[in-house]
Structure 1
Amino acid sequence: MPGKITRVCFVICLSCFLAACSFAGSLGEDTAHKEKTAKGMKIGVCMSDMTHTTFIEMLDQMHRKADKLGVEIIEFSSDSDPGNMVEGLENFIAAGCDAIIFQNFDQDASEYVVSEAVKKGIIVISYDNYSDAATYVYVADNEKLGFAIGHMAGDWINENLGGRANVAICDYSLINFLNNRADYIEEGIRERAPESKIVARQDAGLLDQGVNFGEILLQAHPDVNVVAGVNDNGVLGVKEAFESAHKTGPSIAMFGCDATEEGIKAIREDSVFRGTVYFDLKQAGEDMFMAAVNAYLGDPGEKRVVTFQMVPIMKDNLDIVK
């Protein structure tokens, strides 16, 4: 009889022990889930040109955050080609990325692969263009932005040239929304300085393209005294060509967009590059990165579409730029 009691007690104790272990194990699983971190997360980043100053600054900011959190960033340059952009997105999916941040310069080309990525549970952030399928969208209002650049140029023409100028526009028609931005720049100039003439418009979104455009202007339109463009890089290239030809001085002005470090430096130095539009794109890069990380950790945030705030910058308000 005592032997039976001992065996029963042993079985009861063993059952209690196993139940306790199972309970502790489930607690451990819950705790592990709650303590999920971004370490080991993989994010694919695709931009149209990884050598572009703006994207270099944005990526530097992303990498600083990634290094602190243990996140891996995979980069891909689409070279402003829709086919390459789609290929980059597909590569990110195949590589097992948890999130994708990409410059969406062609919504029609990207929408299907974006929707496929989202179906697989990948967080997708569409930068620079709308997307119905993406998890988040970060964009500028290109109509307001184009008018802001055009109005800066037009106001300067009125104040310094009596309302009349010969104007050249740096376009970048490979990317549709930049082409639209150039249209609004023209409209903005005509609205503020209607007696001015748009004498030339050419693709010049990159520095070397701007230099080439500047050299063409010096030969074909030597009377050009105002240049406005869809970004800083191309306009700074025109500035470089003009300076090489000693075409500078108080009657020349150039206006861009993105408030790159080179653009701000040129304004600060009282060069012919006199204005830009500030978005704080370095912070935007960090914001997109953190939106992806937070969503991965289970915090989707409140906004799906974020529109960048913009501020026209000239010499008198440079202190706004961080």
Structure 2
Amino acid sequence: MRKRQILALAMVAAMASGMVVSAETEDKRGEGKRFVSITYNSTNTSAITLNKAAEKVFTEAGAEFTALYYESNIETMMSMIENAVSSGCDGIILQNNMNLEAGVDTLKEALDKGMVIVEYDSDYEQIPKIQYCFLADQYGLGYMIGEMAGEWANEVLIPAGIKPIAGNFEYRNTPDFVSRTEAIVEGLTNVCPEAEVVRAEQPSNTSEAMNMTENWMQTYPDMNVLVGVCDSYTMGGAETFKAAGKDPAVTGCFGADAIPEALEQIAKGSVYKGTVFIDSEKIGTDMAEYMLDYVNDIEVEGREKYNYFVMEKITTSNIDDYYKAEE
């Protein structure tokens, strides 16, 4: 009895001091392993969130993790892939939404070396050996964006006798994103036939989207709707709308990814009216878990190559479920 009491006290003391008392609970899957994430650009909030979540899992497992951003430069992306492979990295998270012909040979070499590759929001269909893809139903996502804008226009603009005049921030570098881009317009005009998309261009970042919107407004000063493939673009346009003094009551901007800035603006009743929630934190966590298990030959029942994002509309009607203002 005395020995059991001493052991119990020792365990309590160890826990209080932060010691690990059970080697069985310590995650050692990452010991001696190195992983890299290569994503589109360092202003993309979704990619940043994903990388932070992946980093947490990797570091807690004892692995080395590096997040790289190729800043929309395909040559830089290819160099990053080549460096990761030549340096003996164990796995790569790759977001290539620019050119799916780029880096094919190097990725095949990586797979031949036993590396694990996880694609983010893209699919190298010509490399079937790639282990995992985490991606959106691009058409479904685009349609949701346009549908939100159409529903809002029917509720607010049409009863007031205001014609919905829209600008669309496109992205056409890969077939998947062409599908998302075109579905946005279909969703908007199917739900609200009176809506007219008068301008459509492809920015590369938030600042470019701001400048595009300013140019569009010179030709269409009554533009009152913005839609886009992601919040990062549409938020830029929304800032231009706000700077021009657009009335939030009859102005609506819609995107996707549910970045914190978009949620805040929806909650504040600004010109930003809707986004699509994609849980980037969970995606990053799952990616890292899949990769750590793969390199340790751990099989988990139910895992598939293709993993589609769960997507949910967020508008002023349900923003309280997703955003709480800091007190």
Q: TM-score range by the shorter chain?
A: 0.7 to 0.9
From 116, 134, 144, the equivalent of 1:123 is 116
1:133-148 to 2 correspondences below 5 Å:
133-148=129-144
The C-alpha deviation readout for 1:107-161, integer Å capped at 9, x for no partner, is 2223332222111000011111123231111110100011010111111111111
SS at match of 2:158: coil
The C-alpha deviation readout for 1:80-99, integer Å capped at 9, x for no partner, is 33333222211110121101
* Cα RMSD, aligned residues only: 1.8
Moved more, 49-58 or 185-194: 49-58
Q: Contact (CA 8 Å) 2:30, 2:58: kept in 1 or not?
A: no
Aligned partner of 1:195 in structure 2 is 194
Q: Contact (CA 8 Å) 1:103, 1:129: kept in 2 or not?
A: yes
1:144-159 to 2 correspondences below 5 Å:
144-159=140-155
Separation (CA, whole Å) in 2 of partners of 1:83 and 1:165: 40
Aligned partner of 1:277 in structure 2 is 276
SS at match of 1:169: strand
SS at match of 1:109: coil
Separation (CA, whole Å) in 2 of partners of 1:79 and 1:300: 35
Unaligned 5+ segments in structure 2 are 1-26
Q: Contact (CA 8 Å) 1:80, 1:174: kept in 2 or not?
A: no
Deviation at residue 205 of structure 1 after TM alignment: 4.9
Moved more, 37-46 or 94-103: 37-46
The AA in structure 2 aligned to 1:311 is E
1:45-194 to 2 correspondences below 5 Å:
45-105=37-97, 106-131=99-124, 132-162=128-158, 164-194=163-193
Deviation at residue 210 of structure 1 after TM alignment: 1.6
SS at match of 1:121: coil
Structure 1 residues 320 and 92, CA, compared in 2 at 3 Å: closer, same or farther?
farther
SS at match of 2:215: helix
The AA in structure 2 aligned to 1:72 is E
Q: Please give the TM-score of this superposition, normalised by the length of structure 2.
A: 0.83
Moved more, 36-45 or 73-82: 73-82
The AA in structure 1 aligned to 2:133 is V
Q: Please give the TM-score of this superposition, normalised by the length of structure 1.
A: 0.84
1:252-291 to 2 correspondences below 5 Å:
252-291=251-290
Structure number with higher helix proportion = 1
Separation (CA, whole Å) in 2 of partners of 1:273 and 1:68: 37
Q: Contact (CA 8 Å) 1:44, 1:99: kept in 2 or not?
A: yes
SS at match of 2:102: helix
Separation (CA, whole Å) in 1 of partners of 2:100 and 2:240: 35
SS at match of 1:250: helix
Moved more, 256-265 or 74-83: 74-83
Structure 1 residues 111 and 320, CA, compared in 2 at 3 Å: closer, same or farther?
farther
Deviation at residue 178 of structure 1 after TM alignment: 2.7
Aligned-residue identity in percent: 28
Larger Rg over CA atoms:
1
SS at match of 1:154: helix
Q: Contact (CA 8 Å) 2:256, 2:276: kept in 1 or not?
A: yes
Unaligned 5+ segments in structure 1 are 1-34
Separation (CA, whole Å) in 2 of partners of 1:95 and 1:320: 44
The C-alpha deviation readout for 1:250-309, integer Å capped at 9, x for no partner, is 110000000001111111111110100011112111111111111112224321110111
Aligned length: 288
